[in-house]
A and B are shown apart, each in its own frame.
Chain A
Amino acid sequence: MGTAILGSICGMLGSFAVLRKQSLLGDAISHAALPGIAIAFLITGTKETNVLLIGALVSGLLGAFWIRSIIKRTHLKSDTALGLILSIFFGFGMLLLTYIQKLPNANQSGLDKFLFGQAATLLARDVWFMAIVTFICLVVLLLFWKEFKILLFDADYAKTLGFNIQLIDILITSFIVIAIVLGLQTVGVVLMSAMLLAPAAAARQWTNSLGIMVMLAAFFGASSGVIGTAFRQIRFIQNRKDLELHKTLAFMFEIAQGHENIAHPHAVRILNNFHGYTRKSLGKLERKEYINVVGSMWSMTPKGYHFAANLYNQQENENE
């Protein structure tokens, strides 16, 4: 649901970015948001999502307007401006992040994970928030439809008609930044630019009308969001099952370790008081040749023992 909303909003705003030849703005802004997140954390010391989002928003906007001003005021081209702002802001953000990590404050971990996205961690509240922002975007988009359209295709004409093109330009850039910052948390830095671009670029092939293009892009974005999440859900369930198996195996490993002979049989009953054990998972383990089940007794195979030992080592490494 969240990704669908995000997909549609990105599709809508992405059409404008693509038509303005600023397709890579998404990439640049999503990188430029990093120092904002770090500074917001440095100032407030909390990991409250909204505070960090505001920080990201501010630095994203700063980056976007700096890009605009570079393109406008100097002879540097847009690609240079984008690449410059992207790398400089991101580098500065990295500096702040590493600086934060050295601070005597245990509360800072996971800050960088914010940047690489976790759709599975979306809360209902976040989805509501997204829906509201999308709604606002939609209203503003419809309200200023004519202005946006004219600005997009003939900026000079818009100026002679008396529209304040600077204001409209700022408005549309801000909305793109908002969409990007919202999406950051869900899909991460690199994929954000794909989110913004791909639906719009696909929609552009179908039609020459802006209205249809925006609608198509929103549709493409939403459907790719839904399909992606569906894949993820399946994957997630699989992971859950794997986890249960591993837990069972780890428990068995502990029991088996007590004996010199790892193939020593144990009663299935021991496992009953272990959380996460089911008859099904036992069957699965047997199919993978990790254990042998004879009657109501089980014993570990060398292969299973090895696998479980590796599992243990990995866990220990992670703890370090």
Chain B
Amino acid sequence: MSSAQIEIQLIASIVAIACAIPGTFLVLRKMALISDAISHSILPGLVLGFFITHDLNSPLLIIMAALSGVVTVVLVEFIQKTKLVKEDTAIGLVFPVLFSIGVIMIAKNANDVHLDTDAILLGELAFAPFDRFLVDGSDLGPKSLWIIGTILLITIGLLFAFFKELKISTFDVGLATALGFSPIMIHYGLMSVASITIVGSFDAVGAILVVALMIAPAATAYLLTDNLKRMLSLSVVFGVFSAIAGYWLAHWLDASISGSMTTILGIVFLLVYLFAPKRGLISVLYRNKQQQIEVSLLTFLLHLNNHQEISERHINHLNEHINWRRVKSKSVLDLALKNNMIIIDESIISLTDKGKNFTDKAIDYIITNDHSKIESIKDDFFLFRG
């Protein structure tokens, strides 16, 4: 690995961490799309900053861009407060307007500047190491590393300082207000951090990747855990992993680094989405199926309990009566047999004592709708699941 390669991976990882932290809170606050809106609408701020300074590298550019990010948030809030439209509509209305203003401003006045929409939307990580940070002629490393490193340090500092406040105001706005924190202050603080992070990162990785780095690791982590601290650290891990893996994928395919980082993020999300132990698609589907069978079993047992006459309990009759398909009735029957709830005697099904007991409890629960009653049944179900 050359030093440029190490630097690129370092920048990518730091950007990933810096994005994952505010991203987690955005996802938890159901405001993930704000990041998309901000990443588009900082364009007019950038352009305006450029007109003032005529220098693409001035810090004023970042400040202006971050400001216009905050303006976006304020505008969205304002439109939403009028109660005329919903939040998502408000976001969708604000950012195309701001983005087009930015595009028009570029097209009209800055045609010959290296500030085109492509560069802003996509970014180019591969060139980041060439832009050095020089002090008195000595080389202190790539400039974007310094910028994003500073932002990361500030973010981490704020995170530790206001962790409790953030946590409370994210999960329970009412409690936060009652305790004397101002949720609005926290809200705007978070938004400012998010918008500064977006601005600082997109110079290196582009607007779309910033959005991906904010949302995807947090969403992936959210599928795996409910604990805020664990979610934060998981999303940092996912972010860094896809930053480095993405770099090597890009290296191998000779393609855009930001694109391949996003692709890795997508693959990681897809895997977790499919195979997560509790919330994954497969386990959800499996659980649904289990519950279906359990409900069927209950129906079946109740039916047996209600009918004492032999004709109603004949094995072939059940198919017609409860209107199940053959496979399903067989699997329900097997399940009941395995748990010693029924016995089959010459095609006539009768409940055992255990089955009777179980059914009584179930009826009890259905009548009273009392959750304490069902606890013991739940244990039973777990027994025959395992």
Contacts and interface: CB of A to CB of B under 8 A. Distances in A.
A69 B30 CA distance: 18
Contact of B30 (A27, A80, A93, A94): A80
* A contact patch SS: helix
Nearest to A85: B266
Nearest to A76: B219
A190 B89 contact: no
B91 interface: yes
B32 A73 contact: no
A166 interface: no
Contacts of B93: 194, 197-198, 201
A218 B260 CA distance: 39
Interface stretch (A16-24, A135-143, A241-249, A263-271): A16-24
A90 B266 CA distance: 10
A21 B90 CA distance: 11
Contacts of A86: 36, 211
Interface in B260-292: 260-263, 265-266, 269, 273, 279, 281, 284-285
B256 A74 contact: no
Given A88-B212, A91-B265, A193 B259 contact: no
Interface in B73-91: 84-86, 88-89, 91
Contacts of A84: 32, 212, 215-216, 219, 269
A180 to B, nearest CB: 13
Interface string B37-80: 00010000000000000000000000000000000000000000
Interface string A96-112: 11110010000000001
Interface stretch (B95-103, B131-139, B171-179, B316-324): B95-103
A57 B65 CA distance: 34
Nearest to B209: A91
A99 B285 CA distance: 37
Of A21, A22, A77, A191, most buried by chain B (CB within 10 Å of CB) is: A77
Nearest to B31: A79
A88 to B, nearest CB: 4
Nearest to B253: A99
Contact of B208 (A82, A91, A205, A314): A91
B228 to A, nearest CB: 15
A92 interface: yes
Contacts of B285: 73
Interface in B195-240: 208-209, 211-212, 214-216, 218-219, 222-223
Interface in B300-319: none
* B contact patch SS: helix
Given A21-B86, A94-B256, A73 B216 contact: no
B92 A23 contact: yes
A144 to B, nearest CB: 24
Given A84-B219, A91-B208, A91-B262, A22 B253 contact: no
A83 interface: yes
Interface residues of A, number: 50
A190 B117 CA distance: 11
A102 B266 contact: no
A99 B259 CA distance: 10
B255 A87 contact: no
A79 B32 contact: yes
A70 interface: yes
Contacts of B263: 88, 91-92, 95
Contacts of B100: 190-191, 194
B112 interface: yes
A229 to B, nearest CB: 16
Contacts of A74: 223, 273, 279, 281, 284
A94 B259 contact: yes
A233 to B, nearest CB: 17
A87 B211 CA distance: 6
B122 interface: yes
A210 to B, nearest CB: 16
B84 A205 contact: yes
B380 to A, nearest CB: 27
Nearest to A81: B219
Contact of B96 (A88, A193, A205): A193
B281 A69 contact: yes
Given A88-B216, A190-B99, A201-B85, A83 B211 contact: yes
Given A69-B281, A75-B279, A27 B85 contact: no
Of A73, A76, A82, A112, most buried by chain B (CB within 10 Å of CB) is: A76
A88 B262 contact: yes
Nearest to B223: A74
Contact of B88 (A21, A99, A102, A198): A21
B258 interface: yes
Contacts of B215: 80, 83-84, 87
B104 to A, nearest CB: 11
Given A80-B219, A87-B216, A94-B122, A193 B92 contact: yes
B46 to A, nearest CB: 15
A97 B254 CA distance: 11
B27 interface: yes
B259 A93 contact: yes
A89 B211 CA distance: 12
Contact of B254 (A21, A87, A102): A102
The 7 A-B residue pairs whose C-beta atoms are closest, nearest first, are A91-B262, A95-B259, A87-B212, A94-B259, A88-B266, A98-B256, A194-B96
12 contacts: A18-B89, A23-B89, A74-B279, A76-B219, A82-B33, A83-B35, A84-B216, A87-B208, A88-B263, A91-B263, A94-B259, A99-B253
Interface of A: 18, 21-24, 26-27, 31, 69-70, 73-84, 86-99, 102, 112, 116, 190-191, 193-194, 196-198, 201, 204-205, 314
